[in-house]
Amino acid sequence: MDARLNYFADPTAGKALKYVMSAGKALKDSPLPAATQELVALRVSQINGCAGCIDMHTKEAAAAGETPVRLNLVAAWREATVFTEAERAALELAEEGTRVADAAGGVGDEVWARAAKHYDEEQLTALTMIISFMNMVNRLNVITRQPAGSYEPGQFH
């Protein structure tokens, strides 16, 4: 499969992506645990059907030591026993923050309260921004049908 656009060859995309990549780096350096960041990025990408981001975040998480069992159970996190309460709260927030059209009121107060129970304000800010960031990147990739499978861990760092 070929992508509809080559973001790296387009001058306008190149200018904009410089800032997108910089934002991604700032979020990666946030105090939100790295495992949580990857699990959330993976779950958002699964919901949005972004093959490129699923490829990337599965491989990045595995390279950082995440187990295959946990990676394989992200899509079914509610029924899985391998996630901490904090990770479960982050995944729940990620789902409601991604499925805003499906949730008439957006992110519910109860979901927010569960996340706030486990993360301080700086971590909640990072979590919220990562969810939003991943939704943006997923849309860029889905719209242009970016292919998956060839990502190498650390490729964009």
The domains found in the chain, sorted by start residue, are 21-143 (1.20.1290.10)
- Is the distance from CB of 25 to CB of 37 less than 8 angstroms? no
User: Token digits for 82?
Assistant: 């391998």
The HSE-up count of residue 44 (CA atoms within 13 Å, CB side) is 29
Which comes out higher in pLDDT, residue 157 or 18?
18
145 Ramachandran zone, left/alpha/beta (phi>0; psi -120 to 50): left
DSSP label of 149? S
Q: Among residues 54, 38, 28, which one has the least CA distance to residue 90?
A: 38
Model pLDDT for residues 84-133, shown as the tens digit of each residue: 999 999 999 999 999 988 866 789 999 999 999 999 999 999 999 999 99
